[in-house]
Amino acid sequence: MASGVLKQTTGLTGLAVVANPHHLLSVLYGKILRTIQKMPSSAAYRNYTEEIIKVRAEIVKNTSDVKELERKIGCGQAEELIQQAENELVLARKMLTWKPWEPLITKPLPNQWAWPCTK
């Protein structure tokens, strides 16, 4: 399974080293993808997030070394990737309730964003 020793520390306060980042990441990415499937296929958020997560999931599946994984994804350490995936999952679940892909909910008044302000 692991081809090397666990690193000693992440270097970040409060972020503990995890022993099985591949497992956690694949679980989280799976959950995110399943949540995303429930959104309409025309939603830009769904398409972009799906792209990102699928690319990362591919890399996680094909790379067994943690350092190599971190380098390939290029977004910080494995523990940080896990945190980012958790954040994205929370966001995706909330997006299901908010439905941000619908058209604009309130149009602004014509002078609302005009600057310098004229009546």
Contact residues for another protein, defined by CB under 8 A: 42, 44-45, 47-49, 51-52, 55, 74-76, 84, 87-88, 90-91, 94-95, 98-109, 111-113, 115, 117-119
Residue 1 vs 107, nearer CB to another protein: 107
- Two tokens, residue 82: 């896990």
| Helix (H), strand (E), coil (C) string for 25-69 | HHHHHHHHHHHHHCCCCCCHHHHHHHHHHHHHHHHHHHCCCHHHH
- Name the minimum Å distance from CB 27 to another protein: 17
- Name the minimum Å distance from CB 56 to another protein: 8
In the chain, the amino acid numbered 83 is Q
- Name the minimum Å distance from CB 5 to another protein: 27
Find, among 47, 41, 1, the residue nearest to 20 by Cα: 1
Residue 2 vs 55, nearer CB to another protein: 55
- Name the minimum Å distance from CB 119 to another protein: 5
Q: How far is CA 52 from the centre of its chain?
A: 8
